[in-house]
Structures are given as C-alpha cells and as structure tokens.
Chain A
Amino acid sequence: MTSSLNLWLIPMLPLAGAAINGFLGKKSSRTAISTIGLVFSGAAFAWALSVVLRVSSVDLPYQEYVAHWIRSGNFTADFALYLDQLSLVMLLVVTGVGFLIHIYSVGYMWEDPSYYRFFAYLNLFMFFMLTLILANNYLLMFIGWEGVGLASYLLIGFWFTKDSAASAGKKAFIVNRIGDFGFLIGLFLIIQHFGSLNFVDVFEKVRPLASETTGAGFLTAIGILLMVGACGKSAQIPLYVWLPDAMEGPTPVSALIHAATMVTAGVYMVSRSHMIFERAPAALTVVAVIGTLTALFAATIGITQTDIKKVLAYSTVSQLGYMFMACGVGAFSAGIFHLMTHAFFKGLLFLAAGSVIHAVGGEQDMRKMGGLRSYIPWTFMTMGIATLAIAGIPPFAGFWSKDEILWKAFSSEHGSWVFWLIGVITAFITSFYMFRLLFMTFFGDYRGAQVDSHGRASHGHDDHGHGEPHESPMVMLVPLMILALLSVVGGLVGIGNRFEHFLAPVFGSAEVTEAAGEAAGRGTELLLMGVSVLVAVLGFILAYVLYVSRPYLPQKIADGLNGFYTAVLNKYYIDELYAKLFVKPLVDGSTSILWQGVDRKVIDDTVNNAADGARQVSDEVRHMQSGNLRSYAGWIAAGSAVVIAYMIWLGVGR
C-alpha cells in the first residue's frame, strides 16, 4: 500500500482539456482544438492503462484521499477516490471507448462552427463520468452523476438553434432530476441509518445485517430509491422517455454518452450498492422486473422505428434493461459484463450509424437509404459485426454476456423462468430489429435522392458537397475497426467465468452461485444457450424474409395489425400520456389556481381589502394619506418618535 496510483489525474486531465478548449478554443484552430481534446482524453486513457499495470502493487480496494469537501457536525464527505475491480473495468471502458469516440469526433464534427465547444463539452463529460466511477462515497458519486447529466444536457442541445434539440436537452435534465430526487432520498436514508455516505463505512455496517426476507425494511427502501435514481440515468421504465429524444445530439454524443457510458451509470451504481440489494430481496425483485419489462417494451418499439438512431436508442433502453435484469437476479458481474460488451458494440453501432448519416448527407430515415453496402463497405462491415454481436450470434461479444444474463435469470436464487422467457423473446426481437436495420440500410437498392449540398437536414455539420454516398475518412473508420475488433473478441473474457472471477472480490458470492448452478445442470445451461442462439438466428431469418426477399410484406403486416401497429409506431403514446397527465395539469394549475387564484385573488385581495377597510375607518384622517411616499415616510418617522418616547417613558417609569 506504499505506492500511490495518483488516480486523481484521471478525471482531472479531461477537466483541464475542457477548461483550455472552453476558454481559449473560440480563437484556436481546429487542429489545436483537436489536439487538446485528444491529448487530454488520451492521457486519461493512458493513465488508466498505467494504473492497470501498477494495480498489483497496491491492495484493492485502494483509496486515495484528495481534499476536504463537506463537514457538517459529524457528517463528512470528501474528495476521495476508490478503486476496486469493478471501478477498474468501468475505468477502462470509459477512458478507452471515450478516447476512440474523441478520435472519431474529429472527423465527424470537423466542419461544425462550434467545434471547440463540442470538444470542451466532451472532455467535461469525461471528467464527470470518471468522477462518478472513482468516487469513494455516494455524494462524490452524485457530483459525477449530476455532472454527466449536465454534459448530456449541453450536448443534446448542442445545436441549440433547433427547438427540438433544445427541448430534448431540457427534457433529459428534468427527467433525470426526477430520478435524482429518489436517489437523494435514498442517500438521506443511508445517512440516517449509517451516519455516512462512504462506501467502505456504509457497506461495513450493512454487511452484518440480516436479509430483509420477511418484510421490507429500510434496506429495501434504500434499494428501491437508488433504483429510482438508476431509472432516470439509465432510461428505464417509467423514466426512459428522455433517451430517444436525446438522439437530437450529434451522433458521437449518442455513442459515448447515450449508449456506451453515461446511461450505464445506473447499472454501475446499483452494482456498487450490491451489498444493500443483496439484503433486500424485494428491492432486487423491483430491479429485475423493471429491467425485464423495459427490455421487452423498448425492443417492441424498436421494430417500428424508421429513424436509424431512434432504433438504436430504443435498443439501448432495451439492452440496459438486460443489465438491470442481471442485477435484479443478483448476477451483478453478468450485468457489468454486458455493460462492457454493450459499450463496444453499441458504441460501434452508433458510430457506424453516424458514418452512414455522414455518407448520405445527414439523412437519418432508413426508408431513404438501402443498398449502401457497396458505397461504404467499411462502415457496412463494422456495423455488420456489431449487429451480429448485439443479436447474440456466437462467438461475438454480445452472445457471451447476454447468454450469461439469461442463464443467471433462469438459474440464480433470485431468478425465475419468467425473466428468462421474456429475456429470450426480447433476444428474438432484438435480433429481428437489428437485422432489419442492417438490411434496410445496406441491402436492396439505394432509395435516397442523389445527395447534394441542398435540402438536407439542418444539422449544421457536414456541409460540403456530395455526389453519391461516400465512405468516411480514416479518422472515423479506425475507431470503428477497433470497436469492431472488440465486438468480436470482447466476450471471450467471459469464457470459463473468467470475468466473474475477476469481479469476485467485489461481488463476493460469485463462487457459491456458480458452484450451485453447475451442480444444477450443465446440460440445462447448454440447452438454454441453444435456445438463445436459435432465436437470434430466427430473428435474422425473419428480417431477411421481410426486408430482403419479400420487401412488400412489412407494409401488409402493418396494415393487418392496424391499431396496434400505430400504437407501437407512436411509442405507445407514452410521451403524450405524460404530457396530459403531468405537464399540462402542472402548468395550467400553477397558472390559474396558484398564481391567478391564490396569489392574486386570495392573498392580494385580502390584503388590499383590509387596507381599504382601514382606510374607510380612518376617513377623517384621509387627508393625511396622500398616497405619497414621502408623506408616508414622514408619518412613519413621527410614529417611530412616539414609540421611542413611550419607550423612554417606560424606562423612566420603572
């Protein structure tokens, strides 16, 4: 424990980059801006790698005190960092994928007039995200938690002259605040019961507590409240509504923040709090049910979307649901495993989608794409790999992690065949909508207009002239290739439960459940694995039939389903429902009842009437009340004089 890892450098480096670009970027050249942005995010990645090399020299969990923050009575929260196997995995994912997306952004955002602002925000995001991961207490984690929300707000609304982008940013922030409200209450409960928010202190005190199997106690309450927070940040039912709208942001943002890293913060937070959840089975069930329902629900919406990014957005919501399903059945390491592989293939999917959008001049509607594979072969190839990965085709990364989740959902003590079944159905839908996306985009004939510099989406980026769809520059393709490689091999770390063993010091009980599971039946596991591969292939076949060999069918089916199809297409009208149920009553009620009613009619009128009444009573002295401020002041002064005289008399009189 003698050597210091200097973990603090990891978040501070991107913060420095954000500050430099934020304050000086406006007058800097694009090259200088890119250099700053890349050097500082790359340095964070390099430092994270060096931490990996040096981690054997310290005992994990390793803690690093940086500075005092809050002291109030005997409550303290400090700037102090914490590293264990879990944060190490997160650290590598965030800095690694983050750095790749920084590189990609150089190409994607090059022509944007606010280039410097983009990199400043992106680096700022890295700072907050790394703070979130490395915090040694819930309050510091909350800094990162709200901070990534800020970065998300700024980046979703990056093209703020567009009303939809500005609204989406605001919506994301407010919906996240609803989650944070729950998170905060959870923190208050933790303070109340454990007197601290330090992970080590809290978990030391939780460890000896009995599991709340007989009735819900405060651990259950804490767990559910933390989950409310996670529902906001990780876009789970009922708070998922902001994430699809968040696609208004530039595509690298969708990849980094709204797929690979920030939205997984809820999964990380729940996993970090596993000690609490493991002793609160009711809370675990809540997590599992929300995760499972969200996975299925969002996947069904994914089928009908025609905007390439919207499909991926709903897919992200759905995949996050898988991760919560894992956490909810107590298989935290499986959840983190999927978090990691998802960061690879979903990050890749978004970046590839960005490359597609770039190629067709800002078009995002898949109905106007098609046949792109010959124009942009590299994008096609990498996106194809990512699709295979997310669909759960072996041996790609997603197969291993998704299968691990499904198996745990079935076999763990908190699991149930219901979770498994819904998970498998979702896997089928996932495979279907992903291959649908691939086929609509890359197969068949090109349905878009000849791309030129006129009449395209007002994104502001990508303003150069086009002929036909063209492949992206190397600076964008290299990150795609690296992520494609990771999407192929990233799952292999899960073979033989190596990933689970690595995380075992954090989640503890891994060995036990594994042993029990193994005894229950290697055969069952293989059988279930077979089922999930089968549904993935079925999804592929169905998509092939509908979108390649018989492309006239989907419209027919949609017509046949009529009302239901319209409902799904309109995302089950959840946004409209929320608007009608919450937003409108709040605005109308505040206007007509509170402001015009209570404030104006009740309070002000009462006061004015009282004043009028008093005025009538004192009609004889009306001439004194000229309504003139100076004379009021005079009367007040005179009155005060009388009062003082009375006071002196009092003093003398005793």
Chain B
Amino acid sequence: MNIDNLSPFILTLVTFAPLAGALLLVLLPRRDRDIRIFSLVISLLTFVLSLHLPVHFHRGDAGFQFAVDRQWISSPNIHYHMGIDGISMWLVVLTTFLTPLCVLISWKSVHDRVKEFFILLLIMETALIGVFTSLDLFLFYFFWEATLIPMALLIGVFGHERKVYAAVKFFMYTMIASVFMLAAILWLYANTHSFDFVTIRDLIASGKVPNFPAAAQWLFLGFFVAFAVKVPLFPFHTWLPDAHVEAPTAGSVLLAGVLLKMGTYGMLRFNLGLFPEQSRHNAPWVMILALIGIVYGALVAMVQPNMKKLIAYSSVSHLGFVVLGIFSFTQAGLNGAMFVMLAHGVSTGALFMLAGILHERRHTYEISEFGGLASPMPVYAASYLFIVLASVGLPLLNGFIGEFLVLSGAFQDRAVYGILAATGVIWSAGYLLWMYQRVFYGKITHAVNNSLPDLSGFEKAAVWPCAAAALVMGVAPILWLGAIDPAVQAALISFPQVVSKVVGQ
C-alpha cells in the first residue's frame, strides 16, 4: 500500500486502534501474560502508526492536516470531523508514546483483574487521542467525557487505600465542570446549527452568530471552567493530589502526562480559537490564577511528606506555566506552553513511574520511609536524578526550553508576571532536590531499604525512553518547534495587537 494513501485514514486508525485492541482483549482468555503482551503490541503498534503523523506532516502549513470530515448524524448536524495541526499532533504522539510505557510499568505491579486493567487502559488511550483529533464539538465532548469513566475506574478499582473517595472526587469535579462546557456547546449549536469547530470559529469571527456579543463572556466561561478544573488551575486543583495518590502508577502517568493537557489544549484550541476577544479580556485574572498556581503549587509541593503528592502539586505548578504562556498571547509564550505540556508529560510521567517503582517495593510513598537509597539502588537513583533535573528545567533537557519560552513570553506581555513566574526556577529546584536528598542521600535509615532491588528490565524499558526523550527534546527542540511554531502563529492571528508587537521586534 502506498503510504500516502494512508493519510485520510491515519487519524481514524491511530484513534481507534487501541479501542479495537481493547475489544479483542475482551475475547482473549484470562491468561495474564498473553494479555500483557497483547496490550504491549497494540500500544506499540499505535505508537508506530502515530509516527506517520510527524513524518508526513507539512511543517510550514498551519492548517489542519490529515483531515477527515464525514456527516455522522444529519440531525442534529454532527460530523465525524478529525484533523490535527502542529499543536494537537504532538499531544497525540505524547499519548501514544506514554501508553506502551504504562503497559510496561504495570507488567508486574498489576496482579488482579489484569484483563480489565488493560482493557481500561486501551479504552483510555482511544478517548485521549480522540480529544486531540476531534474538530467537531460534539465528537470532542464525547471523547472528553469518555476519558472520565476508564480513568475513574482505574483509580477506583485498581488504586490504593482511599481509592473510592479519590475516584468519586475526581469524577464529580470534572463531570460537574464539564456540564458548563456542554451548555456552551449547545448554545453555539443552537445559534450556528453546527458543531464544526472551523465553521463556528469562522462564523464568530465574521460576526454572523446572532446574540453572540451578549453571550460571549458566558460561553468563554463555560469552556474555561471545564478546562480549568482539568488543568487544574488554582483553586480547582484539590482533586488532583487525592486522585494521584490513590491512582495506580499507569493511571497517574496518563493522568499527569496527558489528561491534564486536555485542559490546557482546550484553552488553547477553544478559548483562544473561538473567543479571542474574551480571552484577551479575561487574561489578567487568568494569568494571576496561573501565577498563584506556579508559586502555590511549588510551595505546597515542597512540604509534602508523600512523594506522590509532591509530584502532584508540582504538576499544579508546571501547568501554571502552561496557562500563563497561553494567556500571554505571545509567540514565545504559546510555543513555550506547548513545549511545557510535552515536556511535563514525559518527565512527570517518568516521575510517577519512578514513584510507583518505589511503592511496589515498599508499599508506601512516605519520603521519611526512605533515605540513602542511592547505595542499594544506584541505577534507579541515577535515572531518578536525570528525570528530576529534566523537571527542574536544567538546560539541554526538555523542561528548560518550555519554561524559558513561557517566561520570556510572559515577560514581554507583562514584565511583573514574568518575574513572579520566574521564581518558579528557584522553587522547583528547592522541592525536587530536597526530596531527592531525603530519599537517596545520607545513610540508610530503615534496614529494610538495604535489600531493595535495583531497576528491573521492565522498569528500565519504561523509564529510560522518557529519559531519552527528555534529552532529545532538550537538545533538538527544533524537531518539535518546527511544527508548533506555525500553528501557534496561526492561533495568534486573531490577536492583531499582539502580532504587531511580536513582528515589530
């Protein structure tokens, strides 16, 4: 088959391959080993398929590519419209990259209901990819909500002690917030007779939507609340630490790595795309919430006695950078926001894997239970340090690029915001290195830690790709920015005052 002929179907293939795998898994007998291997094969296959996207992507082209648009239901007017640009493409690849690693890290740690676990994981993958590829608002909302159920079940069934509480909290928080988005989508449909993102965007831009000026602020907020809870933006973040602490490792990896990015992606695509004026108008307080998130998340992370909670709060801080970058409406800020999303997915995903590895050995995340681990587990310690450094934003690793661009963008927009956010470079070093010291340095304080085994082959196979990705992204960010930059430029076209500022430089 000529590879070019694949293009119209590739998004459908990538999106639904994991779901197809999940359906086949249902038919497979309950032999855990086979199920694991099958899941790995499916997720790897999906990853390879998804690589078709960056390989055949036209980098200079800012529009949606690999698009497919078929009428699905005629009334209401719902289309099966999918397509990606430089923004969503990398989020798809991030998802397909992390899923096989999730399979590997769960290889030995999930013993019960193995079949259900991997079915949920693969369904989850389809839903996540669908969120990033959908260009029809109904389809988008469908996938958006579809991510909830497998994730809530992953937490509620396969989680730790307070799993049900955490699962319900997660579910209710994000579900309730999503209702506002649904209302906004329905309003748009009622006034445009379309769920199509591109159509609605163009109608709004040309002023052809009746009653729009009166409703615009509410519509903006409807979308925004749903996204803000998902990100999570301060003060909507308290579901996150609970969800993470209780979630199984793979759940945390996908939750932090991809699921949170649905929120920031949504802001970038829908809030900025559909409501540029309102975005501009609301930016000051959004940016302040993002700033609070950056500093607050970091400070609270610093004092957590629980490693996983620490990482969870650090996500609040990192995602604050993303929101800040998006609402700076600068080329650097948006490029940086995109890059932080990807970098955070890789390095925080890896951090959760590393935390999970420790939990599997000691069944606790309490930092005080450890200390001196660098001696019995040198490879683990070195891998952990590498990821910590990526997360701290050490230049030549992935965290730095995004952080630098976001901060310079925020600084161009409002110098004070840039300066306040830049304190993040101090905080992140503080909480991560302090935690690292308490876990790995010094002498062994609990005798049981003396005999902890170092990384197993599966664990290396799960963590090291993240480390490699962190390095490549830091050294050759151009591979990613090349596609992101034009898409961001296009996203900023609705902000003329900003564009002139950027170009005028």
Residues of A at under 8 Å CB distance from B? 68-75, 139, 142-143, 146-147, 150, 153, 157, 160-163, 165-167, 170, 173-174, 177-178, 180-181, 184-185, 187-189, 191-192, 195, 586-587, 589-591, 594-595, 598-599, 603-604, 607, 611, 627, 629, 632-633, 636, 640, 643, 646-648, 650-652, 654
Q: List 20 A-B contacts (CB under 8 A).
A: A69-B475, A70-B405, A71-B485, A73-B502, A139-B395, A146-B394, A160-B442, A173-B429, A188-B412, A189-B411, A586-B299, A586-B302, A629-B156, A632-B171, A632-B172, A636-B171, A643-B182, A648-B76, A652-B75, A654-B190
B425 touching A75 by the CB < 8 A rule? Answer: no
Q: State which of B168, B411, B429, B489 has its C-beta within 8 Å of the C-beta of A174.
A: B429
Q: State which of B171, B332, B433 has its C-beta within 8 Å of the C-beta of A73.
A: B332
Question: Which B residues are in CB contact (< 8 Å) with A150?
Answer: 389, 394
B143 within 8 A of A: no
Q: Which of B166-207 contact A (CB under 8 A)?
A: 167-168, 171-172, 175, 182, 186, 189-190, 193
A629 touching B418 by the CB < 8 A rule? Answer: no
A629 touching B189 by the CB < 8 A rule? Answer: no
Closest to A75 in B: B332
Identify 18 new A-B residue pairs, CB closer than 8 A, beyond the known A170-B433, A170-B437, A651-B76. Answer: A71-B481, A71-B485, A72-B336, A73-B489, A75-B332, A160-B374, A160-B441, A161-B372, A166-B441, A167-B437, A184-B404, A189-B411, A607-B238, A632-B168, A633-B171, A648-B75, A650-B76, A651-B193
When A and B form their complex, which 3 residue pairs have the shortest distance between CB atoms, in order from nearest?
Answer: A651-B76, A73-B331, A166-B441
Question: Which B residues are in CB contact (< 8 Å) with A632?
Answer: 168, 171-172
B426 within 8 A of A: yes
Question: Which B residues are in CB contact (< 8 Å) with A586?
Answer: 299, 302
B296 touching A594 by the CB < 8 A rule? Answer: yes
Closest Cβ of chain A to B103, distance in Å, is 24
Cα–Cα distance between A283 and B221 once the two chains are bound (Å): 46
B332 touching A180 by the CB < 8 A rule? Answer: no
A650 touching B189 by the CB < 8 A rule? Answer: yes
Closest to A67 in B: B476
Cα–Cα distance between A192 and B419 once the two chains are bound (Å): 14
Question: Which B residues are in CB contact (< 8 Å) with A170?
Answer: 433-434, 437
A587 touching B418 by the CB < 8 A rule? Answer: no
Question: Which B residues are in CB contact (< 8 Å) with A180?
Answer: 425
Q: Which of B401-446 contact A (CB under 8 A)?
A: 401, 404-405, 407-408, 411-412, 415, 418-419, 422-423, 425-426, 429-430, 433-434, 437, 440-443
Cα–Cα distance between A160 and B439 once the two chains are bound (Å): 12
Closest to A77 in B: B404
Q: A73-B332, A170-B433, A648-B75 are in contact. Are A587 and B302 (CB under 8 A)?
A: yes
B478 within 8 A of A: yes
B145 within 8 A of A: yes
Closest to B489 in A: A73
A142 touching B168 by the CB < 8 A rule? Answer: no
Q: State which of B336, B412, B422 has its C-beta within 8 Å of the C-beta of A181.
A: B422
Question: Which B residues are in CB contact (< 8 Å) with A191?
Answer: 408, 411-412
A72 touching B485 by the CB < 8 A rule? Answer: yes
B335 within 8 A of A: yes
B54 within 8 A of A: no
Question: Which A residues are in CB contact (< 8 Å) with B425?
Answer: 177, 180-181, 184
A143 touching B335 by the CB < 8 A rule? Answer: no
B408 touching A73 by the CB < 8 A rule? Answer: no
What's the dominant secondary structure at chain A's contact region? helix
B497 within 8 A of A: no
Closest Cβ of chain B to A281, distance in Å, is 23
Cα–Cα distance between A268 and B303 once the two chains are bound (Å): 37
B300 touching A163 by the CB < 8 A rule? Answer: no
Q: A161-B372, A166-B441, A170-B437 are in contact. Are A184 and B407 (CB under 8 A)?
A: yes
Interface flags for B107-150 (1: CB within 8 Å of A; 0: not) read 00000000000000000000000000000000000000100110
Q: A69-B477, A632-B171, A652-B75 are in contact. Are A647 and B189 (CB under 8 A)?
A: yes
Q: A73-B335, A627-B168, A629-B164 are in contact. Are A160 and B426 (CB under 8 A)?
A: no
Question: Which A residues are in CB contact (< 8 Å) with B375?
Answer: 161
Closest to B298 in A: A590
Closest to A144 in B: B395
Q: A633-B152, A651-B189 are in contact. Are A590 and B238 (CB under 8 A)?
A: no
A73 touching B182 by the CB < 8 A rule? Answer: no
B505 within 8 A of A: yes
Question: Which B residues are in CB contact (< 8 Å) with A139?
Answer: 395, 404
Q: State which of A165, A594, A629, A648 has its C-beta within 8 Å of the C-beta of B300.
A: A594
Closest Cβ of chain B to A151, distance in Å, is 11
A142 touching B395 by the CB < 8 A rule? Answer: yes
Q: A146-B395, A170-B433, A177-B429 are in contact. Are A587 and B481 (CB under 8 A)?
A: no
Question: Which B residues are in CB contact (< 8 Å) with A652?
Answer: 75
Q: State which of A157, A181, A189 has its C-beta within 8 Å of the C-beta of B441.
A: A157
Question: Which A residues are in CB contact (< 8 Å) with B407?
Answer: 184, 188
Q: A143-B395, A632-B168 are in contact. Are A160 and B76 (CB under 8 A)?
A: no
Cα–Cα distance between A167 and B442 once the two chains are bound (Å): 9
A166 touching B442 by the CB < 8 A rule? Answer: yes
Q: State which of A68, A192, A636 has its C-beta within 8 Å of the C-beta of B412.
A: A192
Q: Which of B283-305 contact A (CB under 8 A)?
A: 296, 299-300, 302-304
B152 touching A629 by the CB < 8 A rule? Answer: yes
A595 touching B300 by the CB < 8 A rule? Answer: yes
Closest to B424 in A: A181
Q: State which of A68, A636, A654 has its C-beta within 8 Å of the C-beta of B478.
A: A68
Cα–Cα distance between A346 and B411 once the two chains are bound (Å): 40
Cα–Cα distance between A142 and B415 once the two chains are bound (Å): 21
B149 touching A633 by the CB < 8 A rule? Answer: yes
Closest to A162 in B: B442
A70 touching B401 by the CB < 8 A rule? Answer: yes
A72 touching B481 by the CB < 8 A rule? Answer: yes
Q: A166-B437, A188-B408 are in contact. Are A181 and B302 (CB under 8 A)?
A: no
Residue among A586, A627, A636 with most chain B CB within 10 A: A636
A185 touching B394 by the CB < 8 A rule? Answer: no
Closest to B193 in A: A654
A177 touching B168 by the CB < 8 A rule? Answer: no
Question: Which A residues are in CB contact (< 8 Å) with B404?
Answer: 70, 139, 184
A599 touching B300 by the CB < 8 A rule? Answer: yes
Closest Cβ of chain A to B145, distance in Å, is 7
A650 touching B190 by the CB < 8 A rule? Answer: yes
Cα–Cα distance between A589 and B300 once the two chains are bound (Å): 9
B77 within 8 A of A: yes
Question: Which B residues are in CB contact (< 8 Å) with A589?
Answer: 299
Question: Which A residues are in CB contact (< 8 Å) with B164?
Answer: 627, 629
Q: A71-B485, A75-B332, A146-B394 are in contact. Are A177 and B426 (CB under 8 A)?
A: yes
Closest Cβ of chain A to B382, distance in Å, is 9
Interface flags for B379-408 (1: CB within 8 Å of A; 0: not) read 000000000010000111000110011011
Closest to A184 in B: B422
Closest to B163 in A: A629
Q: Which of B320-377 contact A (CB under 8 A)?
A: 331-332, 335-336, 372, 374-375
B482 within 8 A of A: yes
Interface flags for B224-255 (1: CB within 8 Å of A; 0: not) read 00000000000100100000000000000000
A70 touching B477 by the CB < 8 A rule? Answer: yes
Q: A73-B332, A161-B441, A163-B441 are in contact. Are A595 and B412 (CB under 8 A)?
A: no
Cα–Cα distance between A153 and B503 once the two chains are bound (Å): 40
Closest to A611 in B: B172
Cα–Cα distance between A611 and B175 once the two chains are bound (Å): 14
Question: Which A residues are in CB contact (< 8 Å) with B168?
Answer: 627, 629, 632
